[in-house]
Amino acid sequence: MAHRALQAWVDEVAGLTKPAAIQWCDGSESQSARINELLVAGGEFIRLDPAKHPNSFLARSDPRDVARVEDRTFICSRETADAGPTNNWQAPAEMHATLRTLLSGSMQGKTLYVVPYIMGPPGSPLSKVGVELTDSPYVVANLRIMTRMGSVALERLGDDGEFSKGIHSVCRLDPAERYISHFPDENLVISVNSNYGGNALLSKKCFALRLASVLARDEGWLAEHMLILCLTDPQGRKTYMTAAFPSACGKTNLAMLVPPQRYSDAGWKVETIGDDIAWLKFGADGRLYAINPEAGFFGVAPGTSYRTNPNAMFACRENTIFTNVALRSDQTVWWEGIGGPPPENLVDWRGEPWTLDSKTPAAHPNSRFTAPARQCPCISPEWEQPEGAPISAVIFGGRRSSVMPLVYQALSWQHGTYLGATMSSERTAAAAGKVGELRRDPMAMLPFCGYHMADYWRHWLEVGRRGGERMPGIFHVNWFRKDAAGAFFWPGFGESIRVLKWIAERCRGEGAAVETPIGWLPPPDALDISDLRIERTAVESLLRVDRAEWQAEVADRESWLARFGEKLPPELKAENDALRSRLQ
């Protein structure tokens, strides 16, 4: 190994965890096939029907290990104030001592896999290298889909390249001893006692968001929980947009939007660059350019169907790992919302027989498909472009049954930062907490910001000052406003292209808008809804700004911002005060 620091670190971790063997992952087809076979032989993978799902597998996690665990996720910065009020903090020395005990001998009898990977296109100046040391072949198989893994990353590292470190050990999967611990000052994550998703695939939330947000702060860029898409109009003009929504607000569906027939016939197109994470840096022309650091999708299965998201369904047809979905007797997969009636007999996500009389879902609500992005029919031909995509619009959004209009535009970057800082969503049944309760989730980064949230907002404001006139426009959308009977006003899915169209027009300095106390709104006629079966009154309701409702919203935002005390950038307090006076 030419990279002495990497070799020394591998030796040190092996000295502590005592694996029976060490295997360097090269990313090759042959090594991947061997690891998949090993997983099949060990019963951790079930091979799916090779005709219907070539090279695809079903995995089942421990039933106590089925989702990210925010209460067991720690930011171990030097001072508690560096982590801020929205993160769990523990002193680095204390956390290192706890983890050292848990890791001591934890890989005995197992193989330690060394997984070097690149986040971002291999030739891109925006990309970064990570290395995960793991005793889980399941994690290796997933990382091979989610990242550019193996020799390509070692080549980029050379003899002395910088890399982010991840140590992962399955240990005993004990939830009480589960720790997802980040050490921003060491560019290091250590994860123990989980083998699921965001807790174990350390490239994703741990590196590409929590650690990267700290690197981004220090290096003058943005690491964001955002999809990236390209909207092409009939004239062939492309508008690149990023969007940040909290979980369960349809981010993957928007990234892979299928335009309604009239739109596609006219030449409109939506192409995906990423569905979850965006890294945004300034280009030589002073604009912000975004790359998707990932190479795959870790998508929620339930609710995904050929009706709701055909692109995702095609993406996960082959070379895919399904986790915690149900198994049909023909060795294909099933989940709630896949379309059509449930089969009479299934094996559920726990491996138990499931019938139509069963009282529990056949697939776990957080069951997933890990699929290569390149297999998505609507993947943009530019998705691996080294320079990234020049972003014209940043969209924030949430699930709000009232108050928030369908779409509006921020008055400035500072006002847009305030919109992001105060954005919120109502809890769904899939999330912990009371259904319908409002949770503030700034920039959809609440569980993913690796430092003090108020310092993160300050960084956003600084980036905006640096970019000046060249910064993207900031917008807010809400697909979830309801009428008095509890029905959604907006049809959503592909029809949301009508909103993207207005956003693109605004970015070009076109598109009618009226200034309201909350920002720029489209007058009803500015939205192309002529062929949409929606009442004019519904459109007016979707775009209504109710002063009394907004005054209550401002008061609630004031208490939210007050949580950040002295650290709150004065610009954000000023924006809240200005909104309150505009509403009077």
What burial class does residue 33 get, using C-beta atoms within 10 Å of its C-beta: 0-12 exposed, 13-18 middle, 19+ buried? exposed
Is residue 442 a contact residue for ligand O2Y (CB under 6 A)?
A: no
Q: Could you tell me which of 87, 90, 185 has the C-alpha nearest to residue 446?
A: 87
| Residues 256, 275: Cα–Cα separation, whole Å | 8
State which residue has the least CB distance to ligand O2Y.
197
Secondary structure of residue 76 in the 3-state scheme: coil
Q: Which of residues 258-277 bind ligand O2Y (CB under 6 A)?
A: 276
- If one counts every other C-beta atom within 10 angstroms of the C-beta of residue 267, the result is 12
472 binds, among ligand O2Y, Mn ion, none (CB under 5 to 8 A by kind): none
- If one counts every other C-beta atom within 10 angstroms of the C-beta of residue 485, the result is 5
Whether 80 and 370 have beta carbons less than 8 Å apart is answered as no
Q: Which element (helix H / strand E) includes 499? A: helix 497-507
| Residues 311, 424: Cα–Cα separation, whole Å | 28
Q: Which of residues 59-78 bind ligand O2Y (CB under 6 A)?
A: 67-68
68 binds, among Mn ion, ligand O2Y, none (CB under 5 to 8 A by kind): ligand O2Y
Stretch that binds Mn ion, among 186-194, 269-277, 369-377, 463-471 (CB under 5 A): 269-277
| Per annotation, catalytic residue among 249, 316, 378, 507 | 249
Rounded to the nearest angstrom, the gap between the alpha carbon of residue 492 and the centroid of all alpha carbons in its chain is: 20
| Residues 319, 296: Cα–Cα separation, whole Å | 11
Is residue 197 a contact residue for ligand O2Y (CB under 6 A)?
A: yes
- Least distance to ligand O2Y, CB of residue 206, Å: 11
Whether 543 and 556 have beta carbons less than 8 Å apart is answered as no
Q: Which element (helix H / strand E) includes 540? A: helix 536-542
| Residues 415, 180: Cα–Cα separation, whole Å | 34
Is residue 276 a contact residue for Mn ion (CB under 5 A)?
A: yes
Q: Which element (helix H / strand E) includes 97? A: helix 92-103
For residue 379, the 8-state DSSP code is: B
* Residues binding Mn ion: number (CB under 5 A): 1
Is residue 196 a contact residue for ligand O2Y (CB under 6 A)?
A: yes
| Residues 31, 79: Cα–Cα separation, whole Å | 43
Cα-trace Rg, the chain: 24
- Least distance to Mn ion, CB of residue 3, Å: 31
- Least distance to ligand O2Y, CB of residue 18, Å: 28
Kindly give the interhelix angle for 92-103 and 4-17, rounded to the nearest 10 degrees. 60
Stretch that binds ligand O2Y, among 17-25, 122-130, 190-198, 323-331 (CB under 6 A): 190-198
Is residue 366 a contact residue for ligand O2Y (CB under 6 A)?
A: yes
Indicate which single residue of 240, 298, 489, 502 sits in contact with ligand O2Y (rule: CB under 6 A). Answer: 298
249 counts as catalytic: yes
Spell out, one character per residue from 220 to 259, where the chain touches Mn ion: x when CB under 5 A holds, - when not.
----------------------------------------
- Least distance to Mn ion, CB of residue 259, Å: 24
- Least distance to ligand O2Y, CB of residue 333, Å: 18
Q: Which of residues 307-336 bind ligand O2Y (CB under 6 A)?
A: none
366 binds, among ligand O2Y, Mn ion, none (CB under 5 to 8 A by kind): ligand O2Y
Which of 6, 222 has the CB closer to ligand O2Y? 222
Indicate which single residue of 169, 247, 308, 422 sits in contact with ligand O2Y (rule: CB under 6 A). Answer: 247
Residue type, 91: A
For the annotated catalytic residues, the residue numbers are 249
List of residues contacting Mn ion (CB under 5 A) = 276
Q: Which residues bind ligand O2Y (CB under 6 A)?
A: 67-68, 196-199, 247, 276, 298, 366
